[in-house]
Chains A and B, each alone.
Chain A
Amino acid sequence: MFAFISLLIFICMAVLMVRLFAGPTLYDRVLALNTFGSCTVLLIGAVGFLFGRPDFLDIALLYALINFVGTIAVLKFFRYRRLGDAPEDAEAIMAPPPEEQKQ
Chain B
Amino acid sequence: MELILTSLLFLALVTTAVAIALVRRLFAVVMLAGVFSLLSAMLFVLMDAVDVAFTEAAVGAGISSVLMLGTIALTARSEKRPTHYSLVPLSIVILTGLVLIYGTLDMPNFGDPMSPVQTHVGPDYIQRTPTDIDVPNIVTAVLASYRGFDTLGEVTVVFTAGLGVVLLISGLGRRIRRSRREDKAPSKGAKN
Contacts and interface: CB of A to CB of B under 8 A. Distances in A.
A40 B57 CA distance: 10
A21 B181 CA distance: 46
Contact of A37 (B19, B38, B53): B38
Contacts of B19: 17, 21
A44 B29 CA distance: 25
A43 B61 contact: no
Contacts, number: 93
Given A21-B19, A66-B61, A30 B31 contact: yes
Contacts of B142: none
Main secondary structure of the interface of B (DSSP, over half): helix
Nearest to A67: B61
Interface stretch (B66-74, B90-98, B103-111): B66-74
Given A32-B31, A56-B50, A70 B66 contact: yes
A82 to B, nearest CB: 7
B189 interface: no
B31 A6 contact: no
Interface in B15-54: 15-16, 19, 23, 27-28, 31-32, 34-35, 38, 41-42, 45-46, 50, 53-54
12 contacts: A14-B12, A17-B19, A21-B32, A29-B27, A36-B35, A40-B38, A40-B57, A59-B54, A70-B34, A70-B62, A70-B66, A85-B171
